[in-house]
Structure 1
């Protein structure tokens, strides 16, 4: 989104600051990551419980593993949220992670004693420790060491079957249990690594946008400096020459230099105005795209239909109209969808329309200053404003004659 659109809708942007702070795709990916890790943990608990049932373990022991596993899975949520909001520059183990780690240790000891498996007892502890906010490089070494440890414990379990029979079915179950349990910490770290990559990409996107804005400001400052510096230098020389001509007794030449200085002032003023107009001007196609992106960032499903010759429409009239109507939707609509259209009708009239659904509890403005300003702009350009509501559908239509713009 361009800086011009962001500045013109600064009042609307405050509607959803959190949505503008982080892109929606990254936020959704976080929930995918969280649900993936929780799915790993729940599948482990379910698998262990079913294996104990298949091996004929008492119901009480199965409940200890199953219900305790649910408590342990719930205890990993604080670890995941702490990981999401961590600061990599000052990554430390906080006190609030002590309780979840203790829950994992207690559950691991209980599950290991009940099942008679070293692997079942070690996996919950390792899995919770993997989720801690380790410093860069520490987690990778920890996962490598813990995977080797779990593999060794799995080999020990292979020599001590859970049941007295030790038949092929039991051994197949131990093989399946071991393969999945050993690699769950690695799969968890892989999910966290993917989340870290997306965060880095999102931060790079934000940094790139800020760098672009900074470069644009530097370019504007350079252009203003070059423009004003040139004219001010010329004016200073002309005034200095005027002073010398007056001291020599040549008033006519001095007056001529004053006229030239006034002309230089007019040129500097016009150059500044042209420079400001060049940086303020945004094509209507970009205006509509910016409005659509802003609505989407605020959680509204928005789309835009732009005519092929939309850039030929009067931007000085319709540009502020697009920005004002977008602001109205954000402030007063409270709905979930919006549609923007800019087309040229067969009778050479530009038609801009924005429709949105209105929530039943939406707060409506009583002063109508926004619509009044739009109507005034349209009237000055020889156009009209039509406002209507059909059920929960609110529509604003602005028509501007193609040749009626002053």
Structure 2
């Protein structure tokens, strides 16, 4: 079942809205063909319209429907930012519609197409669908209104000038204007909605990238604060030790001892930065997660009663909240996220669960996690904790962290010690 519906479930909200909008406009082609192209064929037996005339009108409606479908596709490409605005194509479709309808009116006048009701339905129908398609290419309700009124006047002008009377001309203007306004409103709203959803999707991706960039900047600032000051002192004391040694002064040894002490202190501080620098505060991370997810339109429920926890446990769980929040923003299509903190008999249990997750060609299948979750497992392993991550159902992902209250004194991992060394 998942293989049959995966083409839909694997898409984001923006992708689903785009697919729905595109296929809606693709369906306009058969709708126009059967609604207006079928009228000449169905009426040919009961009216003076010949079979050749009926087939000709049907072919004109078919060509027009295909042109409008192609223009709608290009206009949606502009809405999604793939292509520029199709101004030339829109102008060509408008000119083709005006020319085709003029030919219908001329043939109507000469008697080649004698059925007035059939001719009127064809020219009004093609004009209305043209207005709806052109509405995808313009911005603003006022411009859409101008397109509908202009199409009504252009369509009715040949009817009046070729001697069919003012009343049919006025009826044509009203029919095209009213039908065009309704079609333009529906099409314009669909295009606007697609643009809004695309912008929200880009904003969410931007927030995720900003969160990662902020984390990198914070890491860089901490390393600069730790190493910049200490390396300056080491350089100064080393230079002083060299000068004292050249003069045969015993104080040079004391300076080198001080350099050794500062180097060891720097090594310890860098290890703390690599391991979980500046002790992430769990409460701050929980409030930050709530604010970021709410700003992204994700309903975030935080159930975390106030409990006294050792600093090492708070730091480790703060990192879990920070990393899982970033993952929620960057992966899947979540609408809600639940964060719960519970104190057990011998430790603390933190769960982060969100919906909108999907298996993408096995890349996010349970048991196959990215480097972010692998880093969390390493951090929690350093304090004797464990991390479990996986799907609880086809569209919900849960991360569970367990940390004992008795945090080991030596919290640096072997990899961190090797890296620093």
TM-score, structure 1 length as denominator? 0.55
Shift of 1:181: 3.1
Counterparts in 2 of 1:206 and 1:140: CA distance versus 1, 3 Å? farther
1:347/1:160 Cα in 2 relative to 1: closer, same or farther (>3 Å)? farther
Measure the CA separation in 2 of the matches of 1:103 and 1:159. Answer: 20
Query: Over residues 32-80 of structure 1, what are the superposed CA-to-partner deviations in whole Å (9 max), with x where a residue is unaligned?
Result: 65466568778777875899899x8689788987897577556544433
- Select the residue among 77, 80, 88 that pairs with 2:72: 80
Q: What are the superposed Cα offsets for residues 283-303 of structure 1, whole Å, 9 maximum, x if unpaired?
A: 49659969x98xx99xxx998
- Correspondent of 2:270 among 258, 269, 272: 272
Q: CA deviation at 1:90?
A: 7.1
Instruction: Quote how far apart the aligned CAs of 1:230 are.
Output: 2.1
Confirm or deny that 1:26 pairs with 2:18: no
Name the SS of the counterpart of 2:236 in structure 1. Answer: helix
Distance of 2:391 and 2:146 partners within structure 1: 65
Is the alpha carbon distance of 1:312 and 1:380 closer, same or farther for their aligned partners in structure 2, counting shifts above 3 Å? closer
Deviation at 1:145, TM superposition (A): 5.9
C-alpha offsets along residues 154-199 of structure 1, whole Å, 9 cap, x if unaligned?
Answer: 4765899999xx8xxx999867633333425743345434544554
The aligned length equals 359
Partner of 2:249: 250
The match for 1:91 among 65, 76, 84 is 84
- Residue 30 (structure 1) shift: 3.2
Structure 1 residue 237: Cα displacement: 1.3
Q: Which residue of 1 aligns with 2:384?
A: 381
Q: Which residue of 2 aligns with 1:307?
A: 304
| 1:309 to 1:39, Cα distance in 2 relative to 1, 3 A | farther
1:185-224 to 2 correspondences below 5 Å? 186-187=184-185, 188-189=187-188, 191-196=190-195, 198-200=197-199, 202-203=201-202, 206-207=205-206, 210=209, 213-214=212-213, 217-218=216-217, 220-224=219-223
Q: 1:130: Cα distance to partner?
A: 5.4
CA contact (8 A) 2:377 2:386 kept: no
Residues 382, 349 of structure 1: alpha-carbon distance in 2 compared, 3 angstrom cutoff: same
- How far residue 265 of structure 1 moved from its aligned partner, in angstroms, is 1.8
Q: Which residue matches 1:240?
A: 239
- Contact in 2 for aligned 1:382/1:404 (Cα 8 Å): no
Q: 1:404 aligns with which of 403, 406, 416?
A: 406
Distance of aligned partners of 1:358 and 1:287 in 2 relative to their CA distance in 1, 3 Å threshold: farther
1:116 maps to 2:113:
no
Equivalents in 1 of 2:321, 2:246: separation in Å? 59
TM-score, with normalisation over the residues of structure 2? 0.53
RMSD of the alignment, in Å?
Answer: 6.6
In structure 2, how many angstroms separate the alpha carbons of the residues matched to 1:272 and 1:394? 34
Query: Do the aligned partners of 2:389 and 2:400 also contact (CA within 8 Å) in 1?
Result: yes
Match of 1:150 in 2: 152
Sort the Cα spacing of 1:31 and 1:243 in 2 relative to 1 into closer, same or farther, 3 A. Answer: same
**What 5-or-longer segments of structure 2 have no aligned partner?**
1-5, 108-112, 326-331, 409-421
> Does the CA contact (< 8 Å) of 2:342 and 2:348 recur in 1?
yes
CA deviation string 1:202-261 (max 9, x = no partner):
54555565456556545544453344232222111111111121122222x111111221
Q: Following the alignment from structure 1 to structure 2, what is the Cα–Cα distance between the partners of residues 208 and 387? A: 24
Q: 2:348 aligns with which of 347, 350, 358?
A: 350
Distance 1:280 1:94 in 2: 57
Q: Is the 8 A contact 1:231 1:264 kept in 2?
A: yes
